[in-house]
Amino acid sequence: MDRDRISHIWRGVRRRGGAAVDALRGRGPATTTVVVPAQPAPRGWWDLLPFTAHRIELAPGVETTVAGVPPTDDVRTQLVIDACGGSLDGRTVVDLGCLEGGFTLAFAQRGAVRALGIEARELSVQRCELARSLLAVDNAEFVVADIKDELGRHDPFDVVFATGIVYHVADPAGFLRTMRSACGHVALVDTHVADPDHATHDCSEMVTKESH
C-alpha cells in the first residue's frame, strides 16, 4: 500500500473518529480522555485507535499513539538483530504475548522471512491486523491463541521474543522451558523481577496488607 493510499485512508479515520484522532496526534485538550471500549466490539477499524502501548508509524507524522514504545527503534529490537549477526534475513521470529504487534512488525520489516505474533486478547490482535494491513507487511501474521498450544503447532523458530509476558504467567519456569523447546537460535526475555526488599510497583493498600 503506497503512502497516498495510507493518507487517503487516514483522512477517512479523521472524519469518523474525530476525538480519537485528535488525541492520537496530540491535539486534544489536556483533560480529554479517549476510551477504546472492549465491549461492544469496535464498529470499525477507526475505533481501535489510539493504541495503548506500541507507537507504530503508519505514515509520515501518523502514529498509532502519542506515547508508548516505538518498537522499530527499541533497543530490544536491535539486540535481537545483533544476536543474529546483524541481520534477520531468512530468520523466523515468534513474539510471545505480542500485544499490539509493534515488535512483530518491526522484525518483519527488518528482514525476517516470517514473524508470528501470539496474543491472548482479541482486541489486541485486531490492532495488530490494523497496523499490518496499513503497512502492507505480508511476512507477519497474528493469532489469538494459548502460547504453549500454538508453539506446539510449529517447528522451532530462529528467534523467540518474550517481553512483558513472563510475570503474567502462573508457572514462569514452565513457560521458560516452553520457550527453550521452541527456540532454534536466540531467545530474548525482558521482564520485571521481584526484589524482596524493594517494591518495584505501587501496590494497592489491600495487596500490601495481605502480603504481610
Strands (DSSP E) found in the chain: 57-59, 62-63, 92-96, 114-119, 140-144, 157-163, 183-190
Q: What is the pTM of this model?
A: 0.76
Q: What is the pLDDT along the chain (212 residues), one digit of tens a residue?
A: 555 665 565 555 444 444 444 444 444 433 333 334 444 555 577 889 999 999 999 988 899 999 999 999 999 999 999 999 999 999 999 999 999 999 999 999 999 999 999 999 999 999 999 999 999 999 999 999 999 999 999 999 999 999 999 988 999 999 999 999 999 999 999 998 777 777 666 655 554 444 44
Q: Do residues 98 and 104 make contact, with C-beta atoms less than 8 angstroms apart?
A: yes
182 Cβ contact partners less than 8 Å away, ≥ 6 residues apart: 94, 151, 154, 156, 157, 160
Give the whole-angstrom CA distance, residue 136 versus residue 146.
Answer: 26
At 54, list the grid cell: 506500541
CB-CB neighbours of 155 under 10 Å: 8
Q: Are strands 140-144 and 114-119 parallel, antiparallel or unpaired?
A: parallel
